[in-house]
Amino acid sequence: MAVQLDRIVPLGRSFREYQLMFNLTEADLAGRVLDCGGGPASFTAEAIALGYSVDAVDPLYEYGWGAVLSNAFWATVEDVMAQIDATPDDWVWTVHTDSRALRRQRIEVMGRFLKDYRVGDRYITAALPNLPLPTAATPWRSAPICYFSTPTCFHWNFIWHRCKSCVEWRRRCECFPW
């Protein structure tokens, strides 16, 4: 990959980007959905506005909605975009036409996330492997949406158990990127 990261980079994705990444349908979004590693994505906010039931979990949420996440975003976005600009042929520009469009989208996503995060109790501070897992009484009827940037043994073990649960509930478990 062309971009080098030496810190947490809070760049989230939109509802539409999730739909494209996971090929989500309305049936996939029926019931409760867990956005695992949701970070500052606007997926949860947009899904809630559309009437879906979504919870997001991420260890980043412990830092609060305001200054910390917003400042981390502004401290990293220009560096990431500069690295993308330096390697334009390494990127597929089908969703975003160029890095300027990508940057605008990430700013919009962060704004939607921050606005919803201030008022929503659907953002849960948690990290692998200790996620708020469903019970027989309150299963996620839809696939937990998971994406991880580092596929470690630890993550593979978690994914195995999540996918096993999804099979038992006859639901999908999606992971991105791999």
What is the rounded CA–CA span in Å between residue 36 and residue 57?
5
What's the distance, CA 48 to chain centroid?
Answer: 14
How does the average pLDDT of the chain come out, rounded? Answer: 75
Share of the chain above pLDDT 70, in %: 66
Q: Which domain holds residue 91?
A: 15-176
Residue 61 binned pLDDT confidence (cut-offs 50, 70, 90): confident
Residue 148 domain flag: yes
Give the global pTM. 0.76
108 inside domain: yes
In this prediction, residue 178 carries a pLDDT of: 41
Q: Average pLDDT, stretch 134-141? A: 50
In a domain? residue 1: no
Residues 52-70 have a mean pLDDT of 79
Alpha-carbon distances of 176 from 72, 79, 120, rounded to whole Å: 23, 23, 25
For residue 3, is it within any domain?
no
Is pLDDT of 6 > 90? no
